[in-house]
Amino acid sequence: MGSRRDNALMARERTIYSCIECGGTSPKWLGRCPGCGAWNTLEETIPEPVPAGRNRIQPLARTQPVATLAEIEAAEIAHRPTGLQELDRVLGGGIVDGAVVLIGGDPGIGKSTLLLQAAESLSRSITVLYVTGEESAAQVALRARRLGLAGRQVRVLAEIQLERIIATLEAEQPRFCVIDSIQTLYSDQLTSAPGSVAQVRECAAHLTRSAKASGTAIVLVGHVTKEGALAGPRVLEHMVDTVLYFEGDTHSSFRLVRAVKNRFGAVNEIGVFAMTEHGLKGVTNPSAIFLSTHGEPVPGSCVLVTLEGTRPLLVEVQALVDGGGPSPRRLSVGLERDRLAMLLAVLHRHANIASFDQDVFVNAVGGVHISEPAADLAVLLAIQSSLRGKALPRGFFAFGEVGLAGEVRPAPRGQERLKEAAKLGFAVAIVPRANAPKRPIEGLRIHAVERIEQAIDLVRDL
């Protein structure tokens, strides 16, 4: 018996390798995480000792009563508006008691600014606590002054130790609490460094339990790695109720907040903000901005709605068709070249548009890579637009897969794509027949097609 326990103790002290992305572990170092497939994410860690008996199910635990779904009282979830309309939109109406929201984004994008503004506005109706681990209380106060916030009721705690934060939460009983950021927290119970997967996961788990027990709504701020995942643990995404991403180009003042998971509302909602010198201002009509960046419509350009993971994304596809030599070139950036050759053959055979004596260049603007076939229709429309030297109409977009027989096949989640484009102010579309909405979408004129020649005929008259 004794020697077996010694062995177990020794085994515990061996180091393991855990993935900073997904939290998966491996006994030896590997270039690629066996859990999530990410490269170079395994780091040497010391496994946390498991408290004696924690992993054992106690055979004498008392059984608990079980109810049917029908017997359980299901109350409607009450959303409390934060006062920032664009934030409320992505939250599904506002914050929910006991719910935990994770908000991720690049450093400097404006997470702290947004949450300080929300905290100020909520503090007029409920008790609010702002826990800052990255900045001192004085820095937060300075920011509040710059933003012109009175801050009379926003209580601030500069603390990074989890146990003290939990104790303060219990004593203060705020209804809304911001943790800025989850990566700075550490728990005394663990030996690993702050920011490590084990720490982040454990701290988030404790805070989640505390939120559920006390009914406090908690917002966790999280950093994003260069690959775009929430640093540390994707496990956090499973733990919390809502995951928001705060994105935008730091060179422009516009910021997007997206819900990628929401137990209390719809996902793929976006909120649009402009960063001004007095903080973030909601942009209620984002279409104007996104369209003006396109300028005047030009020949050879077509906008498509693609699905990046779970998020619909509007991407401009450009084509240039120009007189080529004896062996014309087909070049594509961000799109598959084989697919381009195939699409040109379809265009020739089924729509009678020949380009075999022309150089064809295709580019997905902004350095994105589109691998889904739903881009086909937009690529073909951009090519024909360049060939004819005639621009597609303002606010036009298209999506749909094109088959070798010239048929236009539906794209998955067509309704979400249409809604996203409508939200961003696009007005005319050619889409596959099966993706045509049953009820009209406000502000959107949709032409449904079944074949590529129909689409080509249609754009001639638009």
Residues that bind ligand TYD (CB under 6 A): 105, 107-113, 143, 146-147, 275, 277-279
Under 8 Å CB-to-CB from 308, ≥6 apart: which residues?
A: 368
Amino acid at 167: A
Shortest separation between residue 218's beta carbon and ligand TYD, angstroms: 17
The two tokens of residue 373 are 């076939």
Shortest separation between residue 114's beta carbon and ligand TYD, angstroms: 7
Cα–Cα distance, 31 to 38 (Å, whole number): 9
Q: Which does 278 bind (CB under 5 to 8 A by kind): ligand TYD, Mg ion, none?
A: ligand TYD
Decide: residue 26, CB within 10 A, 0-12 exposed, 13-18 middle, 19+ buried. middle
Shortest separation between residue 374's beta carbon and ligand TYD, angstroms: 33
Helices 111-122 and 137-146: crossing angle, nearest 10°?
Answer: 80
Is the distance from CB of 431 to CB of 455 less than 8 angstroms?
no
Q: Which of 82, 112, 262, 358 binds Mg ion (CB under 5 A)?
A: 112
The residue assigned the tokens 């195939």 is 342
Nearer to Mg ion, 112 or 184 (CB): 112
Under 8 Å CB-to-CB from 82, ≥6 apart: which residues?
A: 88, 91, 94, 95, 118, 121, 122
Cα–Cα distance, 451 to 441 (Å, whole number): 23
The two tokens of residue 137 are 């209380």
Nearer to ligand TYD, 182 or 343 (CB): 182
Shortest separation between residue 253's beta carbon and ligand TYD, angstroms: 8
Nearer to ligand TYD, 275 or 383 (CB): 275
Residue 113 binding Mg ion, by CB under 5 A: no
Which stretch in 107-115, 302-310, 426-434, 450-458 sits in contact with Mg ion by CB under 5 A? 107-115
Output phi, psi for 382, to 5 deg. -65, -40
Q: Which does 146 bind (CB under 5 to 8 A by kind): ligand TYD, Mg ion, none?
A: ligand TYD
Nearer to Mg ion, 139 or 252 (CB): 139
Shortest separation between residue 161's beta carbon and ligand TYD, angstroms: 21
Which stretch in 89-97, 111-119, 346-354, 430-438 sits in contact with Mg ion by CB under 5 A? 111-119
Element holding 460 (H helix, E strand): helix 452-461
Nearer to ligand TYD, 104 or 400 (CB): 104
Q: Which does 143 bind (CB under 5 to 8 A by kind): Mg ion, ligand TYD, none?
A: ligand TYD
Is the distance from CB of 218 to CB of 101 less than 8 angstroms?
yes
Kindly report the number of other CB atoms within 10 A of residue 127's CB atom. 16
Residue 117 binding Mg ion, by CB under 5 A: no
Shortest separation between residue 148's beta carbon and ligand TYD, angstroms: 9
Decide: residue 185, CB within 10 A, 0-12 exposed, 13-18 middle, 19+ buried. buried
Beta-ladder partners of 42: 19
Q: Which of 232, 229, 224, 230 is nearest to 250 (CA)?
A: 224
Nearer to Mg ion, 112 or 216 (CB): 112
Residue 287 binding Mg ion, by CB under 5 A: no
Nearer to Mg ion, 23 or 110 (CB): 110
Nearer to Mg ion, 18 or 112 (CB): 112
- Rounded (to 5) percent helix, strand, coil in the chain: 30, 25, 40
Shortest separation between residue 134's beta carbon and Mg ion, angstroms: 5
Q: Which does 277 bind (CB under 5 to 8 A by kind): ligand TYD, Mg ion, none?
A: ligand TYD
Decide: residue 253, CB within 10 A, 0-12 exposed, 13-18 middle, 19+ buried. middle
Shortest separation between residue 222's beta carbon and ligand TYD, angstroms: 10
Is the distance from CB of 122 to CB of 83 less than 8 angstroms?
yes
Residue 82 binding Mg ion, by CB under 5 A: no
Which stretch in 39-47, 71-79, 108-116, 386-394 sits in contact with Mg ion by CB under 5 A? 108-116
Cα–Cα distance, 454 to 141 (Å, whole number): 61
Residue 132 binding Mg ion, by CB under 5 A: no
Shortest separation between residue 111's beta carbon and Mg ion, angstroms: 5
Output phi, psi for 373, to 5 deg. -70, -15
Q: Which does 105 bind (CB under 5 to 8 A by kind): Mg ion, ligand TYD, none?
A: ligand TYD
Nearer to Mg ion, 185 or 364 (CB): 185
Between the two ends of the chain, the Cα-to-Cα distance in Å is: 83
Shortest separation between residue 280's beta carbon and Mg ion, angstroms: 13
Is beta strand 428-432 parallel, antiparallel or unpaired with respect to 445-449?
A: parallel
Nearer to Mg ion, 116 or 418 (CB): 116
Which positions lie near Mg ion, rule CB under 5 A? Answer: 112
